[in-house]
Amino acid sequence: MSLTNAANTPAVAAMKLRAEQLCVAFERDSKSVSVLEDITFDISDGEFICIVGRSGCGKSTLLNVLAGFLAPTSGSVIIDGEPVHGPDPRRILVFQEHGVFPWLTVEGNIGFGLSKLPRAEREHRVAHYVQMIGLQGFERTYPSDLSGGMKQRLQVARALAVNPDILYLDEAFGALDSITRLAMRKELLRIWQTERRTIIFVTHDIDEAVQLADRVVVLSSNPARIEDILTIDIRRPRNISSPHYLELRDKLLEQIGQAYTV
Amino acid sequence: MNSLSKPRNWEKYFWPVLAAALLFAIWHYCVVWTGTNIFPSPLDVEKGMAELLHKGVLWDDIEDSVRRVAVGFGAAAVTGIPLGLTLGLYPAANQMVNPVLQILRPISPIAWIPIAIILFGVGDRAAVFLIFLGAFFPIVLACVSGVSSVPSIFQRTGRNFGLSSTQLLARVVFPAALPQILIGLRIALGIAWVVVVAAEMIAVESGLGYLVIDSRNSGKRYDLVIAAMLLIGVIGLILDLGFRSLEGLPSVRWGFRHES
Ligand SMILES: Nc1ncnc2c1ncn2[C@@H]1O[C@H](COP(=O)(O)OP(=O)(O)OP(=O)(O)O)[C@@H](O)[C@H]1O
Ligand SMILES: [Mg+2]
């Protein structure tokens, strides 16, 4: 699966992650219910992938498997040629909300994964990410005194600070108002473009997916299979009222099974 | 008054002082009206208090009581917190120990007095043992529930950043459970203060509890009895306020609802 988005990604990117025939079944009322079935895809290094699907279809489950928090019932996840056996600081999962540690300051949160570094370097990195997420002046502030958007940025910064190859975001902006979400998307794209990580972003917001992704993985429901993998071949910065944008968005809406009139 | 508006500064002190004054007035007039000569009036108690302060033994009694609480409560915290954290982390162990804890917990430390005396004789150690018992269970249970209600998101995040299980305990589970642990410690301290007075009435011959019972036994000095009771109340309040101030520490403040 090649990328048409030549403006933003290297022409030939190495393969980063491969999901191989992932199946996940949960016990429910002492019956085994299949949630994910035969999920197979490849993700290249530095790619921005969105995963969309209806609520409850298994997006978080898939992300938990990719991040190593949940062992698949069958199949495997291979990252950099090695099978995933558990969580790892090289790939960080960012949760929807309430993920920052309330007992630590902004600095303490960003520096959480950096305890092995020498002090000077840790402080340098913390300062860098404080700057990046625009929380200068809030270094000593506790999360209870931050807004929802600030907390979410903080969670992303804490993840980025440990220099992960892959960032998994599970509806990371879902709890935010639409203005903040828009700002956060721009922010995330800017970070992605400067730091070149692989990002796998789960969302139920179709617009969000079309605005952000190189490719969108569409999941069906009950059990989740891959419905389609759609390449978003729009140059960045994206014009979100161009005909092609609308066309891709409508196609996604259709695939998810929602009409595009209200 | 609008309940959202901040009470004005004088109001914060005015109403409590008024309530206390009313209570003293009622007490005073009850004594006057009934013409009792056993039950002391507030003025008698005040004189009794002055007498205690002059005799100088009062400070020794306060010191003895506070020391016993410090030792008993300290021992309960030092043993109860690690035990509670362990049980919270290992549900299997908790299932094994929990029934025993649940049976021992409702037994008033006062019921242990005979056993404390057999084990330690009449003296300091018996009293400290009783305080330990009173404080131990609430501390353990607060730790267990504190740890088991740490959101799984925090634990998963900790593991994601590569923490070992001891690091996870020290850097995630403990700080996340700390507000609940503090609540448990505060409750335990209150119990310890109640227990020390009871223990001193029976198991030792010094301290504020002993002062109460001794004032009654040697000469029916009810003015001294009530003076000692009031002191017990005031010191208990001071201990509690001191402990509550910990709730304002920045790294635990998030865990408490607080009116600003
Ligand atoms: N630990 C579990 N045990 C049993 N069933 C589970 C478990 N976790 C998830 N499920 C089930 O798997 C299905 C998918 O859940 P998942 O959380 O992955 O959905 P989702 O796509 O992330 O939904 P949403 O968009 O609402 O977050 C749901 O039907 C859920 O009930
Ligand atoms: Mg989800």
Whether B257 shows a pLDDT value over 90: the answer reads no
Q: What contacts A143, CB < 8 A, 6 or more positions away? A: A100, A101, A102, A104, A106, A109, A151, A154, B254
Distance of alpha carbon B94 from alpha carbon B143, whole angstroms: 12
Residue B198's CATH number: 1.10.3720.10
* Domains of chain A, first to last: 1-87+166-262 (3.40.50.300), 91-163 (no CATH)
Whether B1 shows a pLDDT value over 50: the answer reads no
- In this prediction the pTM is 0.86
* CB-based contact B130:B119 (threshold 8 Å): no
Could you tell me if residue B155 is inside a domain?
yes
Whether A3 shows a pLDDT value over 50: the answer reads no
How confident is the model at residue A261, as a pLDDT? 55
Q: Residue B157 and residue A144: Cβ atoms within 8 Å?
A: no
Strand A15-28 with A74-79, pairing? antiparallel
Number of domains chain B is built from:
1
Per-residue exposure over A20-44, b if at least 16 CB sit within 10 Å of its own CB, e if not: bebbbbeeeeeeeebbbbbbebebb
Averaged confidence pLDDT in chain A: 90
Mean pLDDT to the nearest integer, B38-58? 88
Mean pLDDT to the nearest integer, A157-182? 90
pLDDT tens digits along A191-217: 899 888 999 999 988 999 999 999 999
Q: Give the structural domain span for B250.
A: 64-205+240-259
Residues of A with CB under 8 A from a CB of B: 67, 69, 86-89, 92-93, 95, 98-99, 101-105, 112-113, 142-144, 162
Could you tell me if residue B23 is inside a domain?
no
Could you tell me if residue B233 is inside a domain?
no
Neighbours of B134 (CB within 10 A): 28
Residue A215 sits at φ, ψ, to 5 deg, of: -140, 150
* CB-based contact B131:B73 (threshold 8 Å): yes
Whether A259 shows a pLDDT value over 90: the answer reads no
Q: Could you tell me which chain B residue has the CA closest to the CA of A102?
A: B254
How confident is the model at residue A11, as a pLDDT? 53
CA diameter of chain A: 56
pLDDT tens digits along A27-59: 988 999 999 999 999 999 999 999 999 888 999
Q: Could you tell me which chain A residue has the CA closest to the CA of B174?
A: A103
Could you tell me if residue B227 is inside a domain?
no
* Structure tokens that stand for A43 in this block: 């993700």
Could you tell me if residue B248 is inside a domain?
yes
Determine whether the shortest distance from the Cβ of A203 to ligand 1 is under 6 A.
no
Number of H helices, E strands in chain B: 11, 0
Point out the least confidently predicted range of A3-17, A232-246, B13-27, B117-131. A3-17
Determine whether the shortest distance from the Cβ of A58 to ligand 1 is under 6 A.
yes
Q: Residue A69 and residue B250: Cβ atoms within 8 Å?
A: no
Determine whether the shortest distance from the Cβ of A220 to ligand 1 is under 6 A.
no
Could you tell me if residue B34 is inside a domain?
no
Distance of alpha carbon A163 from alpha carbon A198, whole angstroms: 11
Whether A6 shows a pLDDT value over 50: the answer reads no
Q: Where are the beta strands (DSSP E) in chain A?
A: 15-28, 31-44, 48-52, 74-79, 82-83, 91-94, 166-170, 198-202, 215-219, 226-231
Residue identified by tokens 């057999």 is B118
Could you tell me if residue B2 is inside a domain?
no
How confident is the model at residue A187, as a pLDDT? 84
Confidence label for A4 from pLDDT (cuts 50, 70 and 90): very low
CA of A70 to the centre of ligand 2 (A): 14
Nearest to A87 among B153, B159, B250 (CB): B159
Could you tell me if residue B229 is inside a domain?
no
* Structure tokens that stand for A183 in this block: 């700002």
* B164 and chain A in contact, CB less than 8 A: no
Q: Residue A142 and residue B255: Cβ atoms within 8 Å?
A: no
Q: Pick the residue whose CA is nearest to atom 28 on ligand 1.
A: A56
A contact test, residue of B157, B174, B257 with most A CBs within 10 A: B157
pLDDT tens digits along A70-116: 999 999 999 999 999 999 999 999 988 789 999 999 999 999 999 99
Number of H helices, E strands in chain A: 7, 10
